[in-house]
A = this chain, B = another copy of it.
Amino acid sequence: MMNNHERTWNELGLDVSLHNELLKSIDQTFQQTVGAQKDRPEAMKYFDDALHESHSGRVTEIIKARKKGKKFIGTFCIYVPEEIAMAADAIPVALCGGTQFSIPYGEKMFPRDICPLIKSTFGLALAKICPYGPIKDLGVGETTCDAKKKAWDVVNFYVMEVPQKKGKLDFDLWHQEVIEFKEKVEELTGRKVESSRLSETITILNEKRLALQRLNELRKNDPPPLSGLDALVVMQAALNDEPIRFTKQLYELNEELEERARKGVSPFTKGTKRIMISGCPSVMGNWKIHSLIERAGATVVIDETCTGTRYFENLVDNTAKDLTGQLRALAERYMKINCACFSPNNERLDAILKIVKDYNVVGVIHYILQYCHGYNVEAIRVSSMLKQAMIPNLKVETDYSTEDIGQLRTRIDAFLEQLD
């Protein structure tokens, strides 16, 4: 007998039995990492649940919204301006895969030596275990790395061009891409983006960013009132959840964390070594590196990644009163994301140094998803800058598998030992 969710997945054409295996596999990893932590904030329950509901409750919610005429947009990069999609009555959700489970399926179509995130993402679709695939009205890719850029051609997604320098014409190009994205979603939903509604969605996402900024401010405490792993869970939920509800729940978490900070409640003791993770994102299903670092006795106090600062820093200026000004403000805000796709990308180096100082970081771990050339090669410059600033740093290149965990643990242990 199928339960309600299984019936939904079945109706979507999923391989229900394989999908159950997937959920079991992800939950197992979750329990071994996130779930195995002690002294977690009470309010984390919502975010744990949000991850667990991401293939069930959240999907049902989107199916219902689609029945009422909304359109569902799958995205794969934080460069896609969600405000615009929402203002045109679409629901944008980041669909990046963070699970090893689906990678062998991705490798049936794509080369093995591209990054695990891409293989995991496409593997979910190809194995018919992604409930978002069948309800997706539009896939929006971008050009931030070679492998993704070329993958969009294969699956015929809409592509937003993120430029590669930060000059005036680059901004103009990006600005135009933002304008064309608005036209594309309007065409998809049949609804015009109105300035008043866009102002509302800008507010919604700015408030979400502010709440995430507040959460991360709290991590500046010594000891931090929550683990880096829990902060990551919140970020992963941020990429999937309905934003108004998410922000409301995050307020509650932040209140609890403030209370904990006042009382010095933390999974860590004062003086625990404070680590920054810098580089590639850790999307849902992937808790590997945070877990390894924190089990080794340090704490991850900030993520300079797309599941970290790059997602929530910089608000959209919401003072413009017309669409023209709003679209420009959106283009400006998103263009500030210091993705490794830019050459040069000095702003990222400056940002890293500032974060190190602000968060009292004693060591940086460059987190490189295997075959991610952008962050891997950029780590040369980042590392050289950190060395000059006397900040120890370690480059870790890994995928989603558990095979290298022993080796990683040894390297991370050795790195942490040398920190003051």
**A interface residues with partner B (beta carbon < 8 Å):** 109-111, 113-114, 141, 143, 145-147, 149-154, 159, 161, 163-165, 169-170, 172-173, 176, 340-341, 343-345, 370-371, 373-374, 376-378, 380-381, 397
The chain B residue sitting closest to A395, CB to CB, is B111
What residues on B are CB-neighbors of A377 within 8 Å?
110-111, 114, 146-147, 150-151, 153-154
B-chain residues with CB within 8 Å of residue A111 when the two chains form the complex? 373, 376-377, 397
Q: Identify which of B150, B165, B169, B172 contacts A343 (C-beta below 8 A).
A: B150
Instruction: Tell me which residues across on chain B come within 8 A of A344, comparing CB atoms.
Output: 153, 159
B143 touches A109 (CB 8 A): no
User: Inside 8 A of A376's CB, which chain B residues have their CB?
Assistant: 111, 113-114, 150
Q: What's the Cα separation between A345 and B146 when bound, in Å?
A: 13
> What is the bound-complex CA distance between A173 and B371, given in angstroms?
29
Q: B residues within 8 A CB of A370? A: 113
Identify which of B172, B345, B371 contacts A113 (C-beta below 8 A).
B371
Closest to A174 in B: B169
Please tell me which one of the listed residues B109, B146, B161, B397 contacts residue A165 in the complex, with CB atoms under 8 A apart.
Answer: B161
| Contacts A147-B373, A345-B153 given; does A176 touch B165 at CB 8 Å | no
State whether A371 and B374 are in contact (beta carbons under 8 Å apart), knowing that A146-B146, A173-B173, A397-B111 are contacts in the complex. Answer: no
Contacts of A172 in B (CB 8 A): 169
Decide if B165 touches A159 in the complex (CB within 8 Å).
yes
Partner of A371, one of B153, B154, B343, B371: B371
A284 to B325, CA, bound (A): 52
Closest B residue by C-beta to A180: B167
With beta carbons under 8 angstroms apart, the residue of B141, B154, B163 that contacts A380 is B154
Q: CA separation between A343 and B165, bound complex, in Å?
A: 17
Name which of A110, A113, A164 has the most chain B CB atoms within 10 A of its CB: A164
CB pair B163 A381 closer than 8 Å: no
Is B154's CB under 8 angstroms from A343's CB?
no
Contact (Cβ within 8 A) A378 B161: no
Contact status of A164 and B143, CB under 8 A, knowing A111-B397, A173-B170, A343-B159: yes
> Which residues from B are CB-within-8-Å of A340?
146, 150
List the B residue with the shortest CB-CB distance to A173: B169
Measured CB to CB, the closest approach of chain B to A103, in angstroms, equals 16
